[in-house]
């Protein structure tokens, strides 16, 4: 599974639409994780979506995102978990534990996503 999180100062970037760095995590069948970073230079939303799609992303965890960007990602079968904020390591631990729906990980004003699932569901 390939998971992508926009990052800024070791935290989830507040707005995906303007994020310039993506943390890319790959997990294998033995739950080993490899990490890399990708720079996202494109400004146009459709080009940004294409770059993310080209990465072969399964899950994208992010903070705020525009409706148009969200719709483009969904149309490309990328599972989106928006409205997330906090330290990147805590967010990843919560995602893999299936506890990312806790209020402490939500951006102010966001409601828990009912579609947040454990990583193998």
Q: What would the pLDDT profile of 14-35 be if each residue is shown by its tens digit?
A: 999 999 999 999 988 777 789 9
Indicate whether 10 pLDDT > 80: yes
> From CA 38, how far away is CA 40, in angstroms rounded?
6
Residue 121 has pLDDT above 60, yes or no: no
pTM over 0.85: yes
Q: What is the CA angle 88-66-19, rounded to 5?
A: 40
4: three-class secondary structure by DSSP: strand
pLDDT at 111 over 80: no
Q: Taking the alpha carbons of 33, 56, 116, 24 in that order, is the dihedral positive or negative?
A: positive
| Kind of pairing between the strands at 21-27 and 2-8 | antiparallel
Alpha carbons 106 and 119: distance in angstroms, whole number: 18
Higher pLDDT, 44 or 110: 44
pLDDT for 30 equals: 72
User: Which of 17, 93, 33, 50 is closest to 6 using CA atoms?
Assistant: 17
> Residue 119's pLDDT band (boundaries 50, 70, 90)?
very low
**H/E run at residue 7:** strand 2-8
CA 110, CA 14: separation in Å to the nearest integer?
13
Q: Examine the pLDDT at 43 and tell me if it is beyond 60.
A: yes
CA gap 109, 6 in Å, rounded: 20
Q: Report d(CA 112, CA 48) in Å as an integer.
A: 26
Provide the CATH number for the domain formed by 2-105 in this structure: 3.30.420.130
Q: For residue range 48-100, what is the model confidence (pLDDT) as tens digits?
A: 999 999 999 999 999 999 999 999 999 989 999 999 999 999 999 999 999 99
């Amino acid at each position: 599974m390939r998971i992508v999180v926009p990052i800024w100062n070791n935290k989830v970037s507040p707005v995906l639409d303007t994020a310039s760095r993506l943390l890319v995590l790959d997990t294998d069948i033995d739950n080993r994780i490899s990490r890399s970073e990708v720079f996202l230079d494109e400004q146009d939303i459709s080009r940004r979506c294409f770059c993310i799609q080209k990465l072969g992303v399964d899950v994208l965890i992010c903070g705020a995102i525009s409706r148009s960007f969200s719709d483009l990602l969904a149309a490309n079968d990328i599972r989106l978990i928006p409205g997330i904020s906090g330290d990147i390591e805590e967010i990843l631990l919560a995602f893999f534990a299936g506890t990312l729906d806790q209020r402490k990980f939500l951006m102010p004003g966001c409601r828990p996503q009912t579609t947040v699932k454990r990583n193998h569901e």
